[in-house]
């Protein structure tokens, strides 16, 4: 598919390809590089940051403990209707859980919200 897109746009018009670093994309990159060696490849920044955050959580005990406590707190709050009502009142309608593009970023954004409120 990437090759077809480069073909349609024209290799001379494609300077850079930004892709995920997952194994299937690495294999795709290798195949396309054999055919089109003038392209510049860049790993996706979001994916790289997610890997860094994953390493923090898995390898740093203070992060493991803090994220686990944050999950327990938010699980407790969001499983009780009266506490959700109080939360919405005191935070002016804001939620504690902040969905993000990646699972690990969500954990850190939620911790930030817990700290802020």
pLDDT digits (tens), the chain, 117 positions: 878 888 898 888 887 877 777 777 778 777 887 888 777 777 777 778 888 888 999 999 999 999 999 999 999 999 999 999 998 898 888 888 877 767 788 888 889 888 888
- Three-class SS string for the chain? CHHHHHHHHCHHHCCEEEECCCHHHHHHHHHHHHHCCCCEEEECHHHHHHHHHHHHHHHCHHHHHHHHHHHHHHHHHHCCHHHHHHHHHHCCCCCCCCCCCCHHHHHHHHHHHHHHC
Does this model's pTM top 0.85? My answer is no
């Amino acid at each position: 598919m990437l090759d077809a897109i480069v073909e349609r746009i024209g290799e001379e018009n494609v300077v850079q390809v930004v892709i995920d670093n997952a194994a299937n994309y690495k294999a795709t990159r290798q195949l396309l590089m054999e055919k089109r060696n003038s392209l510049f490849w860049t790993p996706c920044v979001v994916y790289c940051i997610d890997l860094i955050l994953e390493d923090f959580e898995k390898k740093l005990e203070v992060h493991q403990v803090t994220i686990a406590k944050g999950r327990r707190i938010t699980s407790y709050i969001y499983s009780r209707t009266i506490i959700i009502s109080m939360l919405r009142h005191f935070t002016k309608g804001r939620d504690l859980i902040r969905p993000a593009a990646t699972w690990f970023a969500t954990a850190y954004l939620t911790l930030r919200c817990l700290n802020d409120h």
